[in-house]
Structure 1
């Protein structure tokens, strides 16, 4: 059995990449190589219509280590374990997916690698877009908070003349 590592650098923090990729509702949006249609959930098992036919997918529990490993039970009953990691990278995050040649000839293995690479590129585009929108919303929120704080501060300002009058009034008592 051969293995091939496919990686994609994504200009977003690893936590943002992991959060998006581990959300099973997002799976059909970026993992076309696995899920071409809606996912049916049966407990912790996902039933997915894939290019290979109906498969069962079981992900590891969400974790703080960036591990997205999942077992895919093929129509033949063979279980393929797919190691996937979201790692820190100087430019954001790197997703590394290990493709294994199980029940595939060399041409099918090459196609599988290409499909995973396309999936990871799609994941990168989607996460980058979501992350950029999130940052824009945070900047807008921070600007509103700053504006509100400035307005509150302006409302609390006391002129020098008012301070003198208050001091003079307190000294005369």
Structure 2
């Protein structure tokens, strides 16, 4: 079993936003504490679920986890104020100290959380921010699933296994992307 810890450094969290961008949009105030916790916690939950084994899926190694962390961090460069604010909150929450990630492998709960986040975004977010957030969250799982082919598998022939494709499809549907 892969025991994963997430460490977010001050150097990454403390980077200034890109020119002309706010570090956190003023619109985050429209979310309740529970809604904001849902939005900021979902990318990590998706990463953990994508790394974990499931029906027809094998547990992935450190490289896949790192690919997922890289996908989360890539949100810093998003055109979406919401995505950048969520990433900033994730990094600020971890304050540079390693934090254990709760192992949430129950796909039913994860998909319910994705649907709940989509409903929150539908009520409160700008449609472009909503779409960007949902696509970014799915990209975290896609990066993990495509990070490292199984032993003996050539990436060009089988970039994502059928089980991983089903996982990504179900995730996309729960996020309202498919």
TM-score under structure 1 normalisation?
0.32
- Greater length-normalized contact order (CA 8 Å, ≥ 6 residues apart): 2
Give the number of the structure whose residues are more often helix, by fraction: 2
**TM-score scaled to structure 2, two decimals?**
0.31
Which one has a bigger Cα radius of gyration?
A: 1
